[in-house]
Amino acid sequence: MCLISFAYQCHPQYSLILLANRDEFYQRPTQPMHYWEDLPGILAGRDLEMGGTWLGVNRNGAFSAVTNFRDGRRGAVNRRSRGELTRNYLSSGLSATDYLDRIEAEQFSYGDFNLLLGDSNGLYYLSNRSKQSWQHLSPGVYGMSNALLDTPWPKLQQVKQELQAQLQYPEPAMEQLLNIMTNPRTAADADLPDTGISLEWERMLSSAFIHAENYGTRAITLLLQKPCGETRIVEHNFAGEGATERYEYRLQIPAIGTTSAV
């Protein structure tokens, strides 16, 4: 998962509107969003190489999503898969804060990550590249890519602005929301971040929607949740040749942040 933007408790109808793009090599084996046979309470896509997920929910109202933190200057090391963080939370039965307290001591055993967790008590963020402990997020519009939360990369700023514009509508159009994540425009070289990778890769990765020879956006996910817990999730999948399957799920689960909502 490489690009997420979300509006949390700042729309009259929806307590959470979340958009996410998962970018990955096309050859990496993946299952689209589904209810897992071995853990039937989980609704998520699945990385078949490591068994984890980039984004998912469970029937108890837990939500999780993860992105990697990009730093080409750090040598490659063999660390635990980030997808374990999301999978283990969704299967743990723990509250978000209890889970965060549990993993903080071992967070550096994982690849560099940004982790977003939610339950009825709120929405939380943790990165093992931050000097801060985990954060309890206040209502607002946020963005997360391959740097710390709200780092102003061009594509992240653009997606946040477009999501903010949709909040003026009492019922944002689903297709308009999904289209926010399909922009293939790359940033000007002067605006590119310097993450220690080649200029060619910085350019390619600077668009919201990525389509390269062997790598690109594999899934766009939209999550709409009302304070009553009525939840709608749409996942649009892609391969190297273009769009493939589209899935939609409707759930009634405890809403994120309802216990602490103001």
Instruction: Give residue-wise pLDDT tens across range 210-245.
Output: 999 999 999 999 999 999 999 999 999 999 999 999
pTM of the model: 0.96
Instruction: Give residue-wise pLDDT tens across range 152-200.
Output: 999 999 999 999 999 999 999 999 999 999 999 999 999 999 999 999 9
Instruction: Give residue-wise pLDDT tens across range 82-126.
Output: 999 999 999 999 999 999 999 999 999 999 999 999 999 999 999
- Decide if pLDDT at 260 tops 90: no
Q: Of 15, 48, 14, give the one whose Cα is nearest residue 30.
A: 48
Average pLDDT for the chain:
95
Listed in order, strand segments (DSSP E) in the chain are 3-8, 16-25, 30-35, 42-47, 55-58, 63-68, 113-119, 122-127, 135-136, 140-144, 215-225, 230-239, 242-252
Q: Cβ(140)–Cβ(150) under 8 Å?
A: no
Q: Look at strands 215-225 and 140-144 and give their pairing.
A: unpaired
Query: 7: alpha, beta or left, given left = phi > 0 and alpha = psi -120 to 50?
Result: beta
